Amino acid sequence: MRRLLSLSIVAAALAVVASGCGSSSSSDQLSTALSYMPKTSAVVVAINTNLNSDQAKQVGKIVNRVPQGGQILNGIKQSVSRNGIDFEKDLKPLLGNDLVVSIPTAQALQQSNSPTIEAIQTKDGGKAKQVIAKGSTKVGTSHGADIYRDNQGGSLTAVEGSTIVGADTRALLDAALARHDGGDHMTKDQFDSALGDLDKSALVRGTGDLQAIIAGSQGAEQARKIKWVNALREFGFTAAAKSNAIAVDVQANSEGDLKDGDLPIASGSGSAAVIKRPGEINLGIRDPQQIYNFTIAALQATNPQQFGQFTAGKQQIGKKLGVDVDKDIVGQLTGDAAVSVATNGGFAARAALKDPAAFKASLAKVAKGLPALAKQFGGGPVAVSIPKSANGFYAIANGKTGRKVVFAVMKSSFVLGSDPARAAQFAVQSPTKVPGAQGSVALDIDTKTLVDQQLRKQGAPAIVQGFTGFLGDLTGYLKADTSSLRANFTLQLK
């Protein structure tokens, strides 16, 4: 019954908005639902089912943009109308407040079918009990609440006053009911604090304890040796419906004596532009050297022996090629970079250089020494083609796989690609700022073209491909500072 109820409530937030009816949520209903959840929950999610909310109205607008959207929602309503339960008569009147779902522990989070606790304060406790009793069997009481077992799925549901509480096991359900009666539970203040400045009116809001999740994962001890990872604390996320978009925001908070150099990406709000290519994943990266530095520092902290081997190998390679890898190669990459990746494996990248002439000289040394270097380190046969003109591309081909990579210095940038035509085109394309991007990593994907490509690849009929016309660009960004890492992903709708 609990699984059915959960699906019903989520479906209701979408399916009923077109009718514009429902009731507003009470001021303390979220506190009530949260009181059944452990204050140390790995993840807690609240889903807004207030059918009069602005979010519900925005969802209705989105549904109208999707071809056959109304029919899809009617199908969802019909799928939950079973076991004598009618969506309109039974489930719809219970909606209005937040459905709260908790994955109580990090260990539970790692399971393929994570056990959860769910709670929602309904508008009518008597009606709630009648609905729960349909298709279920009363199996006892706990902390004054009647307990029901779903006749099909076996999940357990309690009705306490006007609140429905569900869990996968009796132990989880009993603990949730006891937690509500006591004081050691999650509070609204704790939940809102983890969300930080994220939109607390969003359709979906969630929080979690990053240190608890890290502690419950394999390699936790090693991961915590990375200064930034050890500084992570709670995180929050939201999913909001807008009239012409769906936006997801995530914020991971950190504490401690962090410096900009400890971050996984360059700090600050300045954003690199992307080079937009239809049907490809397009990224802009400011100061890619920061990502390299973070990766190397993480290796040094977690595996000093492997880091030593890497450093020795890097020095040996540099000596063999006649370059300083850190200074002459990586150290040049402190400007803006752009990367585009196609679903067929094709790719192209370019990065602004500090000193293009010096980098070009270093590149010639690297290309000349690569075949011997690959042979020395057991990398298999490698063939290098030297460009015949000053503006031509070097080409490296793997003798076993035949895969080729081309590269060159063009104007003030290093250009790399899977084939000469792609790389040459990428080198001269004009970059474009991603609307709203605020951090050092920016994303832009022509979603419709990408989806259409995949549909054609799967042999989908033309009529199916016609349903993608409402899809716009998927844009996003990553923004870092010493107190948080912020991510945004927005799918535009036409």
C-alpha 156/C-alpha 164 separation (Å) is 11
pLDDT at 142: 94
pLDDT at 376: 61
For residue 42, what are its two tokens? 């790995």
SS3 437: coil
Among 455, 489, 461, CA closest to 475? 489
CA separation for the pair 414, 396 (Å, rounded): 15
> Burial, 21: exposed, middle or buried (Cβ in 10 Å; 0-12, 13-18, 19+)?
exposed
Tokens standing for 140? 């006892």
pLDDT score, position 24: 54
Q: Which helix (H) or strand (E) holds 145?
A: strand 145-150
> Mapping DSSP to helix (H, G, I), strand (E, B) and coil, where does residue 388 land?
coil
* Strand 394-398 versus strand 117-121 pairing type: unpaired
Report pLDDT for 11: 42
Helix 2-15 and helix 54-65, axial crossing angle in degrees, nearest 10: 80
- Indicate the burial class of 175 (C-beta count within 10 angstroms; 0-12, 13-18, 19 or more): middle
pLDDT at site 8: 42
* Residue among 27, 51, 41 at smallest CA distance from 191: 41
Name the residue among 67, 71, 75 with its Cα closest to residue 467.
67
249, two tokens: 């925001």
> What tokens does 418 get?
């899977």
Q: Tell me the pLDDT tens digit for each residue of 166-214.
A: 998 999 999 999 999 988 999 999 999 999 999 999 999 999 999 999 9
- Amino acid 68: pLDDT: 63
The whole-model pTM stands at 0.88
Under 8 Å between Cβ of 243 and 258: no
Rg (CA), the chain: 27
Nearest to 452 by CA among 438, 434, 467: 467
DSSP secondary structure of 315-343? HHHHHHHTS-IIIIIGGG--SEEEEEEET
- CB contact set of 368 (below 8 Å; sequence gap of 6+): 321, 384, 386
pLDDT value at position 25? 56
> Which residues of the chain are modeled with pLDDT < 50?
1-22
| SS3 of residue 297 by DSSP | helix
Are 422 and 280 spatial neighbours (Cβ–Cβ below 8 Å)? no
